[in-house]
Structure 1
Amino acid sequence: MATPEPVSVLQRWSDSGGTWRVIARGPATVTVALLTCTGEEVERVGLAAGPELLEYLAEAEDQN
């Protein structure tokens, strides 16, 4: 089974009513907390810090 693209993971989570928050950034990975619609943390995921993800995160930060 192929690993889903990092941006797809965050978009699917948001589309399902959840939210997410960046909690750490490293040279190769970004750690994101996946939160329920009530703000409870479900899990933390490490996502590959590729250009597409970094651009998506920058756009999301600009909207907040």
Structure 2
Amino acid sequence: MTLDDLRRWEDSGAGWRVVHRGPEGITVSLLRCDGGEEVDRFVSDDPTIVAHVGGRTSSEQDA
């Protein structure tokens, strides 16, 4: 998953939720736009993704 992929996910109306933060990076759950059901997860230590997510726990929070 790249930051561009995550932004496309958000732009399509779908959401995400941080499942875990740790030394290996963040684990993010990708959620459907029609009810929030999890469809996938990814772990990333990419600094651009970590910065984009910031301290938020989900895409529903303001950046």
Same fold by TM-score, threshold 0.5 exceeded? yes
Task: Give the residue type in structure 1 aligned to 2:31.
Answer: L
Task: Give the residue type in structure 2 aligned to 1:42.
Answer: V
Answering whether residue 7 of structure 2 is matched by residue 11 of structure 1, we say yes
Query: What residue ranges of structure 2 are gaps of 5+ in the alignment?
Result: none
The equivalent position to 2:36 in structure 1, one of 21, 35, 39, is: 39
For residues 52 and 30 of structure 1, what CA distance do their matches in structure 2 show? 12
Query: What residue ranges of structure 1 are gaps of 5+ in the alignment?
Result: none
Answering whether residue 57 of structure 2 is matched by residue 63 of structure 1, we say no
- Compare CA radii of gyration and give the structure with the larger one: 1
Two-structure CA RMSD over aligned residues (Å): 2.1
Of structures 1 and 2, the one with the larger relative CO (CA 8 A, separation 6+) is: 2
For residues 52 and 34 of structure 1, what CA distance do their matches in structure 2 show? 17
Displacement of 1:32 after TM fit?
A: 0.5
* 1:6-36 deviation per Cα after TM superposition (whole angstroms, max 9, x unaligned): x222111111121000101121221100000
**Aligned partner of residue 27 in structure 2, secondary structure:** strand
